[in-house]
Amino acid sequence: MKLRTVLTLAAIAIPITLISLWMGQQAYSWMPPQASAESKLIDDLFSFLVILGTFIFLGVGGTIIYSIIFYRAGKYDFSDGPPIEGNVTLEVVWTIIPVFLVIWIAGYSYHVYSQMAIREPMEIVHLHNPMEMESAYAAPEKNLDTQENVTKGAPESAVVLPPEEIEVHSRQWVWEFRYPEQNVTSTELHLPVDRRVRLALQTEDVLHGFYIPAFRLKQDIIPNRTIDFEFTPIRIGKYRLEDSQFSGTYFAVMQADVLVESPDDYKQWLAQAANREPSAAYNQAASEYSRFSDKAIKPGWPTIVPAPAPLVNQPGATSLKTYSQ
Amino acid sequence: MTNIPIESIPVLGKNPLPPAWRKYFSFSTDHKVIGVQYLVTSFVFFLIGGLLSMVMRAELITPESDLVDRSLYNSMFTMHGTIMIFLWIFPSLLGLANFLVPLMIGARDMAFPRLNAVAFWMVPVFGILLMSSFFLPSGASQSGWWAYPPVSLQNPSGDLINGQVMWLLAVAISGVASIMGAVNFVTTIFKMRAPGMTFFRMPIFVWTVLSAQLIQLVGLPALTAGAVMLLLDLTLGTSFFNPEKGGNPLLYQHFFWFYSHPAVYVMVLPIFGVFSEILPVYARKPLFGYRVVAISSITISVVSLLVWVHHMFASGTPGWMRMFFMATTMCVAVPTGVKIFAWTATIWRGKLRMDTPMLFALGAILMFLFAGITGVMLGSVPFDIHVNNTYFVVGHFHYIVYGTITMGMFAALYHWFPKITGRMYYEGLGKLHFWLAFIGTNLNFFPMHPAGLMGMPRRVSSYDPEYAFWNVLASLGGFLLGMSTLPFILNMVSSWVQGKKAPANPWRAIGLEWLVSSPPPVENFEEIPVVIAEPYGYGKSEPLVSNAAAMTQEA
């Protein structure tokens, strides 16, 4: 390559690199707050993907835009361009570079995933040799199947204490949480900060999806199965749990508040709730179902009758942020 | 399956032909008529699907559910998705392929003209079947275009004939029609090529149609079988997927995505073909790396059969499965990247003429570049666990289905409009259409990415107020996109009626279809062409066929 070409390419690559790195920093601000140990890992991965993506977008898109601006035919110029039909070196290079990039992305993603150790549905795993596939392209630090994995970077208390076990019951269209040790039920999900949490996800009817954006975690819940799901909340605050797998008519209102509390507040809440008489929780779907619909367009189609409001020790908020008029 | 000489069809020469427009409403076996029938029918459904989406965007312009009933909203996104895939993208691409493939390979028609016509006439049949479910007392299907059980099995009305049954019947019929089409295209491309039209002299569009139709042959039986099993569960009470009776709802997801992910490549590959046809014409340069682009189409269709679980990274899938399918999914990026680089190199140092087809093609490639990058992001399991089933995914695939496929389809319609109709379109209206569509697409679908990153789930009819800003932008974009079709319709209708007469080759393009008159005569070629060159000889001034004069002689 001529020196001039090298210099030109460098002059283009440097600003593109700088913009890409800057975008990678911006990427963190596009996400909800980092409320779980897992969210930090995922945000770092996303930032990396944004850096690579921006670089490729600006590089290729810039070349296309440059061509559109500078290689226009004159109004009366009906001649043809140079009959270049290919260039083997160039084609080999632009095949090998994406190969390396995707291996890099897949390896990094694999690494992050094994660090998260969220205990996805396992029952099929034991029928196979789970490690057969991965070892080919990435050397895991920890076996995916290791039960006692804790997300890297999680606080020490999350490692020392056994995981807090909570049952999650989903039905059309309400979430109910049960704390088996204290026999407390609630429609708010209270979680202790800096401690590993192990959820047992169950559904009584259709598929639902357990999704807390601030935790970056999601898992479908499947009938006739209990799916274990683990993570570590690290930031005290109030977040939202959303149903992420379409579950029928009132899918959009199947949400719940998630409260991450200090260990003391959490214990106190559990003790108080255990002494409270169960009462009917507010149920957005049931309330919309029983109300006369005043929507502009209503076909009056039959729908599944929402499950009755659960009787719980902690009925939670009386309304959701979103509501039907 | 040889080309039947024109003399053996005596009817056409002797009887006076009926008025031209009437043939488009008849059971014609002419591939060009069927092509136009597909294109026009699918465009009508495109408008219906678009209207549904505009009502949805009107609902989503505010966080509350305040415009349409929730059940109606659910049926709208179900039908929007179903119509756009099975009644717009699939049939419009088949229309394009029907018109172009026999012309491009030097055949007089498809291998099985009657099967071709039957396959087409099934489209309005299942289209009407699907639309009529809106008028059932139980309403149209409300379980999304995935129709995941158990929601799709719930049937609150208790009626035997309900929206979900109609939907499943429509999808099954669509599957059968598409298999017929696939058999026909694969046979045509293998068996009916003109002398000298070797595989590596076929235009890339033919390569991509072949790749796409091979996927149809392998994948569609899985979807059709899945749909039939779900139909049996719903109507006869079998228990393939019904968890209450010990069925496995996850099995359906595998059946569904085993086909429905490759289906994305069925939809996008022919559009890659369109880009590969259009760029050389308007850049006056050969397609860069023709053979590599051709092979990468086949590679994509093979790899696409092994990636379906990436739709199920948050579903009931074990870790090893998620990791394996992440690796296969990443592999698709390589042949796809090769194509984008080849297109970029094709226009590099060319003599670009930014007519409407070129504008649409380059706009679509830019948006595809963006969609490809977000697609690789989605292939990364940990990131996908956050954005799976959020608006990030909706934004990503609309950049594909609208930004790439529909824009690419418009590029193709403008580019081949003179060939199809024998008239020129109005360039000014075409450019207006492009800019409205380009701005509208980005305004509509880009804001879905930040909304999804914040955590807004897809398929909701109401949402938390913090997502409102991006939704208002998306809705405005959606309305603009709706408006953008008006100059297109005006252009197509008025140009067809009173446009300037088109010469055989208005774009100075290379290709067999440009050697015959506009519109091409019945049976296309007087004498079957003898091909002597590769398809993109721009700047080389060598002839494409050895018998140019004889093949176009009017009878």
A20-66 per-position pLDDT tens digit: 999 999 999 999 999 999 999 999 999 999 999 999 999 999 999 99
For residue A291, name the pLDDT band (cuts at 50, 70, 90).
confident
Q: Is B464 on the interface with A (CB under 8 A)?
A: yes
* Chain A residues closer than 8 Å to B380 by CB: 45, 49, 105-106, 108-109
B128 in a structural domain: yes
Q: Which of B72, B146, B454 sits opposite A297 (nearest CB)?
A: B72
User: How many angstroms away from the CA of A10 is the closest CA of chain B?
Assistant: 19
A312, containing H or E segment: strand A311-312
Residue-wise pLDDT tens digits, B245-268: 989 999 999 999 999 999 999 999
Asked whether the beta carbons of residue B323 and residue A247 sit closer than 8 angstroms, the reply is no
Contacts of B244 in chain A (CB under 8 A): 223
Please indicate if any CB of chain B lies within 8 Å of the CB of A116: yes
Tokens read off for B354:
């930014």
Closest residue in B to A107 (Cα–Cα):
B327
Domains in chain A with CATH codes: 158-291+302-312 (2.60.40.420)
d(CA B163, CA B508): 50
What's the confidence (pLDDT) of residue B520? 93
Condensed to tens digits (0 to 9), the pLDDT of residues A75-114 reads: 888 889 888 888 999 999 999 999 999 999 999 999 999 9
Identify the weakest region by mean pLDDT among A123-132, A257-266, B138-147, B403-412: A123-132
Cross-chain residue pair A80–B538, CB shorter than 8 Å: yes
Tell me which residue range forms the domain holding B164. Answer: 23-552
Q: Quick check: is B536 in a domain?
A: yes
A44 touches B at CB < 8 Å: no
Residues of B in contact with A67 (CB under 8 A): 344, 347-350, 352
A31 touching B, CB under 8 A?
A: yes
- Record: contact B67-A57, CB cut-off 8 A: no
For chain A, say whether B145 makes contact (Cβ under 8 Å): no
pLDDT at residue A279 in the model: 87
Q: What residues of chain B lie within 8 A of the CB of A144, using their CB? A: 319-320, 323
Query: Which residues in chain A have their CB less than 8 angstroms from residue B72's CB?
Result: 297-299, 301
Dihedral over Cα of A10, B288, B419, B402: its sign: negative
- Say which CATH number the domain at B188 has: 1.20.210.10
Q: What share of chain A is helix, strand, coil (3-state, %, to 5)?
A: 40, 20, 40
Closest CA to B278 of B445, B147, B411, B419: B411
Q: Classify burial at A82, counting beta carbons within 10 Å of its beta carbon; exposed 0-12, middle 13-18, buried 19 or more.
A: middle
| Confidence tier at A287 by pLDDT (50, 70, 90) | confident
User: Is the separation of the CB atoms in A215 and A39 below 8 Å?
Assistant: yes
**B168 in any annotated domain:** yes
Q: Which residues of chain B have pLDDT under 50?
A: 1, 5-15, 555
DSSP H or E run through B420 = helix B407-421
B353 and A73 in contact by Cβ < 8 A?
yes
Q: How many CB atoms lie within 10 A of CB A216?
A: 29
Q: Give CA–CA dist A277/A266, Å, rounded.
A: 19
Query: Domain for residue B152, yes or no?
Result: yes
What is the domain count for chain B? 1
At B517, the amino acid letter reads: S
- Chain B (1-60) residues lying within 8 Å, Cβ to Cβ, of chain A: none
Does residue A94 belong to the interface with chain B, where contact is any CB pair within 8 Å? yes
B390 → chain A, closest CA residue: A244
- B465, HSE (Cβ side, Cα atoms, 13 Å): 5
Q: Which chain B residues contact residue A317 at CB under 8 A?
A: none
For residue B464, which residues of chain A lie inside 8 Å, CB to CB? 240, 255, 321-322
What is each CA distance from B310 to B216, B299, B367, B389, in whole angstroms? 19, 18, 22, 12
H or E element in which residue B328 lies:
helix B319-347
> In chain A, positions 243-302, which contact chain B (CB-CB < 8 Å)?
243-253, 255, 288, 293, 295-302
Taking the CA of residue B492 and the nearest CA in chain A, the distance in Å comes to: 26
CB contact under 8 A, B285 and A81: yes
Give the per-residue pLDDT at A318: 52
- 3-state SS assignment for residue B549: helix
Indicate whether B52 belongs to any domain: yes
CA distance B169 to chain A (A): 20
B327·A137 Cβ contact <8 A: yes
Structure-token pair, residue B240: 């393939």
Contact A47, A28 (CB under 8 A): yes
In DSSP terms, which residues pair with A233 in a beta bridge? A36
Check residue B533 and give its pLDDT. 92
B 410-449 residues with CB < 8 A to A: none
Cross-strand partners of A36: A233
Nearest to B386 among A68, A218, A324 (CB): A218
Task: Return the HEC string of B54-70.
Answer: HHHHHHHCCCCECCECH
B495-524 residues touching A, CB cutoff 8 A = 508
Per residue in B315-371, pLDDT tens?
Answer: 988 889 999 999 999 999 999 999 999 999 999 999 999 999 999 999 999 999 999
User: Closest to A95 (Cβ–Cβ): which among B66, B338, B460?
Assistant: B338
The residue of chain A nearest to residue B315, with distances taken between CA atoms, is A220
Q: What is the DSSP string of A275-301?
A: HSPPEEPP-HHHHHHHSPP--SB----
